[in-house]
Amino acid sequence: MADDDAGEKTEEPTAKRRSDAREEGNVPKSTEVNTVVVLLAAVVFLRFAIPKIGDLVLDQIRRYWAMMTLETAKGDPFVLLQTLFQDAILIVVKTVIPVALVIMIFGVIGNIAQVGLLFSLKSIQPKLSKINPISGMQRLFSMRAVVDTIKNIFKLIVVGAVAWISIKNEYGQFIALVNASTFEIAVYMLKLSYAITIKIIFVLLIIAVIDWFYQKFEHEKKMKMSKQEVKEEHKQQDGDPKIKGRIRQLQREMAMRRMMSEVPKATVVVTNPTHLSIAIQYDEGMKSPIVVAKGVDHIAMKIRDIAKEHDIPLYEDVPLARSMYDKVEPGDEVPIEFYNAVAEVLAFVYKMQGKV
């Protein structure tokens, strides 16, 4: 039962899992958002560009007509064909490339708006799973494929309905166009097409927003982790707790050995008879006394044993030992507040050793 719970993906994804997924290009993204952004940008651009494009085409047609008359009179059709071809390419460049640039720019903007600035080659690297027929069949009949199919059918129905209703409402205008000129009909059809397209884009925008939230929900669902995965990730990041504990133990042992090696340098060891020992060093020329070691219980006893081996005096001062133990670490200078008390201890030691 515990194994089942550990394998169930119930935990929120960690920051590392999110970061790794982003590096692989695995981010929540809706193609519907990109489609709507690009379509809207292209339609709005064309709405303002079509008059200029129309003027450009009409100017070229007039120019062609004048050239045809002139070149026919001269009897040189090849020059005419060459000029027509060059002008046709120029028109394509002036009309198609701006639209292509708008589509490309807003396609990039649509991606950045969803996932931010992200460049990942891992998402396009070849993988055997992508050509595995079994994996392909699983993707084909997956829940995502079903949702995409339903979404596309719904889009087709909605877009068709919007277009049909819009055209149906214009039935009276179609009858009135019977007596209109070709130019008036063309202008009307362009305006109608623009209006219908804007309505369709509005519907697609609603679908895109819903799809984006769905993609985000699906992504979060796939990103969830089991308790075992969280534990393994913590182990990878922080290391195995047993190994870390062993390292800390070795570090403490090394620090203890270093401290004990300093005890022979002490001038005196201040003790609390029950369980404290503080080794203090003071030599001529030192700015202030230094605590070289301290310990409690068995460590305190060991400090005393080393002191006795090296003929270092032990001095019992319960208040001083207790106060210094809480405020001074090995290697620290004795604080000013303890100067007088330590000076008395040192004076007693020097007197006992006959140095004063």
**What percentage of the chain exceeds 90 in pLDDT?**
0
Please state, in angstroms and rounded to a whole number, the distance separating the CA atoms of residues 178 and 192.
16
Helix (H, G, I), strand (E, B) or coil at 106: helix
- State how far the Cα of 196 lies from the Cα of 334, in Å rounded to an integer: 87
| 256: confidence class by pLDDT, cuts 50, 70, 90 | confident
- Cα distances from 355 to residues 219, 332, 347, in angstroms, run 80, 26, 9
pLDDT of residue 135: 56
Whether the per-residue pLDDT at 110 is higher than 60: the answer is yes
Q: Kindly tell me if the per-residue pLDDT of 257 is higher than 80.
A: yes
Q: What is the rounded distance in angstroms from the CA atom of residue 273 to the CA atom of residue 315?
A: 10
- Report the greatest alpha carbon distance in the chain: 135
What is the topology classification, in CATH, of domain 255-352?
name from scop (3.40.1690)
Residue 253, SS3 per DSSP: helix
Predicted local confidence at residue 141, as pLDDT? 59
Q: Please tell me the predicted confidence (pLDDT) of residue 73.
A: 47
Which pair of tokens denotes residue 125?
A: 């690297």
Is the pLDDT at 64 greater than 80? The verdict is no
Q: Range with the lowest mean pLDDT among 77-91, 115-129, 145-159, 169-183?
A: 115-129
- Tell which wins on pLDDT, 29 or 38: 38
Q: Does the structure show a pLDDT above 70 at 68?
A: no
Question: What element of type H or E holds 353?
Answer: none
151: Cα within 13 Å, side-chain hemisphere: 20
Mean pLDDT for the stretch of residues 239-253: 74
| Ordered strands of the 276-281 beta sheet | 290-296, 276-281, 268-272, 314-316
pLDDT of residue 4: 47
Least confident of 116-125, 150-159, 306-315: 116-125
Please report the pLDDT score of residue 312 as a whole number: 85
As a whole number of angstroms, the distance between CA 161 and CA 5 comes to 49
DSSP secondary structure of 25-93: T-----HHHHHHHHHHHHHHHHHHHHHHHHHHHHHHHHHHHHHHHHHHHHT-HHHHHHHHHHHHHHHHH
| Domain residue ranges in the chain | 29-235, 255-352
Tell me what pLDDT residue 132 has: 54
Q: What is the mean pLDDT of residues 200-207?
A: 88
Phi and psi at residue 53, to the nearest 5°: -65, -40
Per residue in 215-224, pLDDT tens?
A: 888 888 888 8
Per-residue pLDDT, averaged over 174-178, amounts to 76
Least confident of 221-225, 238-242, 349-353: 238-242
> Which of the pair, 23 or 105, is modelled with greater confidence?
105
pLDDT of residue 228: 81
Mean pLDDT of 63-85: 64
Q: How far apart are the first and last CA of the chain?
A: 78
Residue 12, SS3?
coil
| Residue 297 · residue 256 · CB < 8 Å | no
Q: Region 176-195: what's the mean pLDDT?
A: 81
Residue 340's pLDDT band, with cuts at 50, 70 and 90, is confident
Residue 45, pLDDT score: 87
In 3D space, the residue among 289, 347, 288, 339 whose CA is nearest the CA of residue 313 turns out to be: 347
Percent of the chain with pLDDT over 70: 83
User: Is the pLDDT higher at 279 or at 59?
Assistant: 279
Q: Which residue has the higher pLDDT, 178 or 71?
A: 178
pTM equals: 0.54
Angle, CA 47 vertex, CA 43 and CA 52 arms, to 5°: 130
Q: Which residues pair with 207 in a beta bridge?
A: none
Average pLDDT, the chain: 79
